[in-house]
Amino acid sequence: MLRYIALILLILLIALQIKFWTGEGGMRDVWRLQQRLGEQRAENLKLRQRNEALSAEVQDLKSGKGAIEERARSELGLIMPGEVFYQVVDPTSANPQPDDGKH
């Protein structure tokens, strides 16, 4: 009789271990969730840094003319009245190769 109880307890222990390691809510799910949590934290940090940079840029644009002038110059190619614009051309791109007709 004691032998049957020990066998039943052993089978129950094995079944519980299988459920613990592979079942729903088991260790496999915990490991997967921990990995996803780490990935989400890294993404949140990246987005937080981006938001801080954008917020600083907005504050800079609201408070000073320097940032607005810099944007106008770099993105729109504008110059201030009285300034002289110089365009530097790369000599290799200014002289295209002659067409020798050997196509």
Over the stretch 26-85, which tens digit does the pLDDT of each residue have?
888 889 999 999 999 999 999 999 999 999 888 887 887 777 788 788 888 888 888 888
**Against a cut of 0.85, is the pTM above it?**
no
Is 103 among the domain residues? no
Output the six-digit token pair for 41.
């934290």
Residue 98's pLDDT band (cuts 50, 70, 90): low
Is 68 among the domain residues? yes
Q: State phi, psi for 50 to the nearest 5 degrees.
A: -65, -45
Is 64 among the domain residues? yes
Is 96 among the domain residues? no
Output the six-digit token pair for 43.
């993404």
Is 84 among the domain residues? no
Query: In the block, which residue shows the tokens 């009789």?
Result: 1
> What percent of the residues of the chain are helix, what percent strand, and what percent coil, each to the nearest 5?
70, 0, 30
Q: Residue 18 belongs to what domain range?
A: 2-74
The total of structural domains in the chain comes to 1
The answer to whether 79 and 73 have CB atoms below 8 angstroms apart is: yes
Is 89 among the domain residues? no
Is 93 among the domain residues? no
Output the six-digit token pair for 58.
């907005």
Is 59 among the domain residues? yes
